[in-house]
């Protein structure tokens, strides 16, 4: 990973701040499933975005911090965990055979989100992106790899544990650095996000007060 954690966090916060003016409040049906990446995230808390901030705004910053953590863990794995590195390489080679991978190559602002919206009650979709990806993956799947021996499995479990510990260590460092950027993050939310939400609520109030509103 090029650059220090401090420099990477500062760089990704800068990128998030450049993206933020493009954000617009959603007017479609809200999601009912909690985002596992953002709900209760220490990264979101460190950035000061835990309360009264739209999920899309939180998610965009969270995924940019994930890029930093993933990059650091990848470097650590390449240098120190040969068995895990081999398993990851084999997994990536198997994924490369899939002709349709809708969740890959997405910008951080939408990466990690569910591919398909939740269906309306009683109105199922004819097909979903997730189903198409699963179907094509099954059709084009290469032969399964040779099974691992028990000693190999145990060794890989040990390396996975080390990788997890390192990821948590980097995550804590990212959180510490994010606190240093909290003022400019909160200022950007106040300048860009909150006025749009206030305008949306004002528009809604006017619509509800309109004599043309159904049922009034």
pLDDT value at residue 131: 64
pLDDT value at residue 216: 46
Instruction: Write down the pTM of the prediction.
Output: 0.79
User: In terms of C-beta density within 10 A (0-12 exposed, 13-18 middle, 19 or more buried), how is residue 167 classed?
Assistant: middle
Domain locations in the chain? 5-23+35-97+142-209
8 A C-beta contact, residue 187 and residue 18: no
How many C-beta atoms lie closer than 10 Å to residue 119's C-beta?
Answer: 10
pLDDT digit of tens for each residue in the chain (216 aa)? 457 999 999 999 999 999 999 998 875 555 557 788 888 999 999 999 999 999 999 999 999 999 999 999 999 999 999 999 999 998 887 777 666 566 667 788 878 777 666 666 776 666 666 666 666 655 566 677 778 889 999 999 999 999 999 999 999 999 999 999 999 999 999 999 999 998 888 877 776 665 655 554
d(CA 118, CA 212): 31
CA 98 to chain centre: 22
Q: Which of 91, 53, 94, 76 is nearest to 163 (CA)?
A: 76
């Amino acid at each position: 990973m090029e650059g220090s954690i401090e420099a990477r966090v500062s760089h990704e916060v800068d990128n998030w701040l450049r993206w933020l003016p493009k954000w617009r409040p959603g007017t479609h049906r809200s999601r009912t499933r909690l985002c596992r990446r953002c709900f209760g995230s220490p990264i979101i808390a460190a950035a000061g975005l835990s309360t009264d901030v739209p999920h899309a705004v939180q998610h965009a910053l969270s995924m940019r911090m994930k890029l930093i953590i993933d990059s650091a863990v990848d470097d650590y794995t390449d240098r120190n965990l040969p068995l895990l590195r081999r398993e990851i390489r084999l997994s990536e080679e198997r994924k490369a055979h899939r002709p349709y991978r809708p969740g890959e190559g997405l910008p951080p602002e939408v990466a990690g989100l569910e591919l398909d919206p939740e269906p309306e009650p009683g109105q199922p979709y004819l097909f979903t992106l997730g189903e198409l990806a699963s179907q094509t993956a099954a059709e084009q799947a290469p032969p399964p790899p040779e099974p691992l021996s028990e000693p190999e499995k145990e060794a890989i479990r040990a390396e996975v544990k080390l990788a997890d510990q390192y990821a948590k260590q980097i995550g804590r460092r990212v959180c510490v650095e994010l606190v240093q950027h909290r003022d400019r993050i909160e200022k950007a939310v106040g300048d860009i996000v909150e006025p749009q939400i206030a305008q949306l609520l004002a528009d809604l109030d006017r619509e509800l007060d309109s004599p043309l509103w159904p049922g009034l």
